[in-house]
Chain A
Amino acid sequence: MTSLVTARGVSKHFGDVRAVDNVSFDIDKGKILGLIGPNGAGKTTLLKAVLGLTDCDGDLSVIGLDPFRQRKQLMRQICFIADVAVLPRWIKVSQLLDYVESVHPNFTRSRAEELLRQTKVQPGAKVKELSKGMVTQLHLSIIMAIDAKLLVLDEPTLGLDILFRKEFYANLLNDYFDEERTILITTHQVEEIENLLTDVMFINDGKILLDSPMDSLSDTYIELATSGEEALKARGLRPIAESEMFGKSVMLFEGISREHLEGLGEMRTPSVADLFVAKVKEARK
């Protein structure tokens, strides 16, 4: 497995605030990694460092390049949609395609036009005449027509209704993703992307709380719904989190095998959202 992004001891300070605090991780080729964290956790700063939009301390390499110092070379091979990266309002769709075609060596215009034909976006329209959903479709059509090794999506579906959101991820998965490509996504709507992730990373206060393939989450984390005597026994096994639901105690265990919990209640794999909440609370203790 080749590592596309390698971070070793990466930090970014703003005065006394450590937005990203001595973080190390690898992102391998062919993965869809969800980067999940609360607001102000350092997600956006970390993404900016990966995209070469901000300088940082430590060793960070993206496709073998130093992102900040070799941003131009990097941008030939990676793409990003940031929640705040709105398309310029004055530009016409056709002008946008002209521009990207002339500055981006890996852009296939016919592909973008083909994708746009499936939407209501007209080539002669100006961006300011399009709805927010259509602007995102336009942006996605351009991105999907770029042969990039890494696609970074920072809250790409913010402010879109559920139909557009579902369609966005369906397009991404069906028409874009393959084993040659890697996608890094951040979003607040974890539930919506949970099923398409291959890997997940939690970040809080600039530190990584969890970095794991989705497959192995079910081996490491077990959610147990229990009550009465069994609940007391289960609590003895030291769950990392506990909450009440419909009169039952729902406990989250880390690194405890299924055999240990057998007979103590209903077991299942926790949702990423629940796991995230538990991990953040644990870190704040």
Chain B
Amino acid sequence: MINHYIALMKREFWEHRSIWVTPIAIASIVTLGTLTALMFAGEFAQELDVAIFGAQNIAGDTERAAVLTGFFVGSSWLFLIALSILTIFYALDSLYAERKDKSILFWRSLPVTDAETVISKLATAVILIPAVTIAGIIATHIVNLIVTSIWVSAKGGSPGTLIWGSVPLLDNWVAAIVVIYAMAVWMSPFLGWFLFVSAWTKRAPLLMAFLPLVLIPMIEGIFFRSAHFAEAVWGRSAQIPIFAGIDMERFFDEGHARMSEEMVSLLAHLDIGRFLTSIDTWIGIVVCGLLTTAAIYVRRYRDES
């Protein structure tokens, strides 16, 4: 059963090379960016000496962790944005390309049900693409830390203290995994919609997918003078209930000379319980399930001839 799905997802991996090419491209861009920054930094030798001295002797572990985490969050956002775009295009193409190139009859000549096929495509978008992205994030993180370590030691700093002793690897990585999978589940109703459009449309899946998302809010606005649809659809990505409230006052409170441990911990800012108990999370999963079922039925009942 599982092997069956692994074979189906491998197929997706072969067809959609962007699934692994994109993370490699972003990893290269981030690493190149780091290298360039480090090269330019060489011009400010004096300031660097001061900075390294300060970072090593004045700052504590938490401050160093805060800076390192900042870099991690910055590069991870790049991956997250690319992942979102990649997933939209993947899902829209997944059930459309096989009809366009007419290979659908070949796929359907093998003992694989339409449900298995469509679910494997959903699983690729919700499980496989995020997994590849996370692998890309972690690999980029390690490579960049190594590059920076080499540079720091060349400048006479101690990478042990400055980097490896301070970087909260586990906290950063687990937080990335939680945020990315929560995002995948949270946005899954859109995936269901894209899969359905991909299975159903005769042409221009991208246009067909986004046109209703633009037109319906306009119609609602004109006739009902309300914006429930727009709020639910366009507002959804910003409303993900995974982040714990940040106490801004405490964050900027100058009375605290030192940052607290929990301030620099990414995981401390996440609230998995809130995500899992939010009704909106579950509504999203149900909508995704309904639209995926619709996609299965379209693939099964449509007569292409």
Contacts and interface: CB of A to CB of B under 8 A. Distances in A.
A88 B15 contact: yes
Given A85-B102, A91-B14, A44 B305 contact: yes
Nearest to A105: B111
B103 A99 contact: no
19 contacts: A53-B105, A53-B108, A54-B303, A55-B301, A73-B111, A75-B108, A82-B109, A85-B103, A85-B106, A85-B109, A88-B106, A91-B14, A100-B110, A102-B3, A102-B6, A102-B10, A103-B7, A103-B8, A104-B111
Interface string B239-281: 0000000000000000000000000000000000000000000
Given A75-B110, A103-B7, A88 B98 contact: yes
A88 B7 CA distance: 16
Interface in B59-113: 98, 101-103, 105-113
A273 B163 CA distance: 83
B150 to A, nearest CB: 39
Interface string A188-224: 0000000000000000000000000000000000000
Given A85-B102, A103-B111, 7 more contacts: A72-B113, A75-B108, A88-B15, A91-B14, A99-B7, A102-B3, A104-B110
Task: Pick the most buried of A44, A88, A104, A139: most chain B CB atoms within 10 A of its CB.
Answer: A88
A74 B14 CA distance: 27
A48 B303 contact: yes
B302 to A, nearest CB: 10
A246 interface: no
Contact of B112 (A72, A80, A86, A88): A72
B303 A87 contact: no
B7 A90 contact: no
A187 B101 CA distance: 23
Interface residues of B, number: 25
A95 interface: yes
Contact of B101 (A74, A88, A99, A100): A88
Interface string B1-34: 0011011101100110000000000000000000
A95 B14 CA distance: 8
Interface residue tally of chain A, by bracket?
35 or more
A71 interface: yes
The 8 closest A-B pairs by CB, nearest first: A85-B105, A102-B7, A75-B111, A88-B103, A76-B111, A85-B106, A72-B113, A82-B105
A84 interface: yes
A45 B7 contact: no
Does more than half of chain A's interface fall in helix, strand or loop, or is it mixed? Answer: mixed
Interface string B108-120: 1111110000000
Contacts of A99: 7, 10-11
Contacts of A105: 111
B88 to A, nearest CB: 20
A124 to B, nearest CB: 13
A44 B105 CA distance: 13
A89 interface: yes
A45 B305 CA distance: 9
B112 A87 contact: no
Nearest to B304: A84
B120 to A, nearest CB: 11
Given A72-B113, A75-B110, A79-B109, A86 B102 contact: yes
A89 B109 contact: no
Given A95-B14, A99-B11, A87 B108 contact: no
B299 to A, nearest CB: 11
B259 to A, nearest CB: 51
A51 B110 CA distance: 11
Contacts of B14: 90-92, 95
